[in-house]
Amino acid sequence: MNISMYQASVPTMIRALNNLAAVLEKGAAHCEAKKIDPSVMVTARLFPDMLPLSKQVQIASDTAKGAGARLAQMEPPAYEDNETTFPQLIERARKTVKYLESLDAAKIDGSEDRTITWKAGETTRSMQGMPYLLNRVLPNVFFHCTTAYDILRHNGVEVGKQDFLGKL
């Protein structure tokens, strides 16, 4: 049985990032309603050795755009990772969605057996396309979207499971 690598990747990542943007909007509204300095929330962490909300959004974005590009045999666009406000983080998620929407399904389909290579810090890694998508990319996108959600929820933002999952 074959899988459409495009259908398994791009729409799934778009949904996750759109839902992340909606959760971030709720975070911004919460700060405004409760008179909380938004920078406190943007720099919040679940634990001191974990990355802050801003970095969670940046990594979810980087993972999604990088995977889409690599599966389509393209170079991923570079973003500066300089977002420090809710509007900037929301725009980052939306910009990534627009990029993913621009990808050609025909260039991604058929990538399940293609060798995908990427840099992780100073290390170069390679995997076949399907294990790369299913065992590395999607878990990472969901991990960082979930952690961003959890940071906001932990800090009092009224979000629930349906906010994370989005409307079906």
DSSP letters spanning 77-115 = PP------SHHHHHHHHHHHHHHHHHS-HHHHTTGGGSE
Q: Which alpha helices (DSSP H) does the chain contain, by range?
A: 5-34, 38-42, 53-71, 86-102, 105-108, 129-131, 138-154, 161-165
Q: Is the pLDDT of residue 16 over 70?
A: yes
Residue 95 tokens, joined? 């910009």
pLDDT of residue 112: 94
**pTM for the model:** 0.96
Give pLDDT, residue 61. 98
Structural domains of the chain, ranges and CATH numbers in brackets: 5-111+125-157 (1.20.120.450)
Q: Positive or negative, the Cα torsion across 56, 19, 99, 86?
A: negative
Per-residue pLDDT reduced to its tens digit, 141-155: 999 999 999 999 999
